[in-house]
Amino acid sequence: MTPRPRPLYVGSPDTEDVLVAELRRRGDAVVVAPGFVQSALRADPVFARCVLPRPIRVQADSAAELAAALLALEPAASFAPERIHVFAPELPRSGSADKGAHPLARDAESLANTLRKKAEGRRAKGKAGPPTAHTLRVALVGPRTALASVDLDAGGAAPDALVAWPGPFAGGRAVAVEHARDAPSSAHRKLHEAFAWLGTGPAEGDVAVDLGAAPGGWTRVLRDAGARVVAVDRGALDEGLQRDPQVTWLRRDALDVDLAALQPTWVVCDVIWAPARTLEVVARAVAVDSVKAIVATLKLVRPVDFDALDDAVGLATGSVGFAGRVKHLVANKLEVTLLMRRG
């Protein structure tokens, strides 16, 4: 009997050591390529962007042959275009600069387009059944070499389904908006990415409390979405935001704010605090009935305090009435984002 392949967890090369340590706390972990860690553990690691539950290596002599081989992995499945995820490996950071595109990024995009067209052609010719819950995940690690896996999304019936992994993005990388109107900082990228993971964002009629708002990167995103914002920070808020009639600046410590009195629908927090203080504020937000979503950044240092990380996961996933998770996002450095949505 052929042993079932072990899951392959995909993360950032910059935090590969942390992903390995996180997995080794409960099982084994072996680095097979920069940012790719294999383990027998079936879980939702914080420092993994996504997972290939049953990975196999696929090689071919041409792009067309590679596409055909990938589609043959599950002949009975009819892949919907949005369930074909192809991605190139992630590059490490170079100082404070943004990560550039991987040399294989264009090849990955081309392969994804080819796979989608072939899948649609199969369906048009009646050679495929109705769309299934299967997702084809492909990491292009060479011009004609891929690590691929066919799996079921959350709620599927497969015995090896990772129910904590809806995996809506190729490579687990949400496409973040790279620009926010008059953004006073680049921190807005983290919040845009968090909205993508939550599957929702604030809108007209929402009241958002931005804890640790200065200089106003997240406040600008919230205002652009239509929310009224209470920006809390002892530091100076961007002058343009100070003049915005829909922004109230509270110049005080974030821990001194009575969230229940403000009745927010969104609470976001990007304060440089120890994780325990951030989790204290998140717990307060969970207790406010008006709050429907929470985004909070947990700042970390090496060696990572995994007990604090466990506390964050427990709060995100165990709070009554909320669905949540904790993830290391593309825009994060050595920090993670706690994502929670009521219901």
Name the residues annotated as catalytic.
299
Q: How far apart are CA 297 and CA 188, in angstroms?
A: 12
Using an 8 Å Cβ cutoff, are 84 and 70 in contact? no
Q: Which of 173, 188, 270, 269 is nearest to 221 (CA)?
A: 188
| Nearest residue to 11 (alpha-carbon basis) of 42, 41, 34 | 34
Q: Cα–Cα–Cα angle for 295, 297, 298, nearest 5°?
A: 135
Give the Å distances, CA to CA, from 331 to 227, 327, 336: 23, 11, 10
Give the integer Cα–Cα distance in Å for 159 and 152.
Answer: 9
Q: What is the chain's alpha carbon radius of gyration, rounded to the nearest angstrom?
A: 21
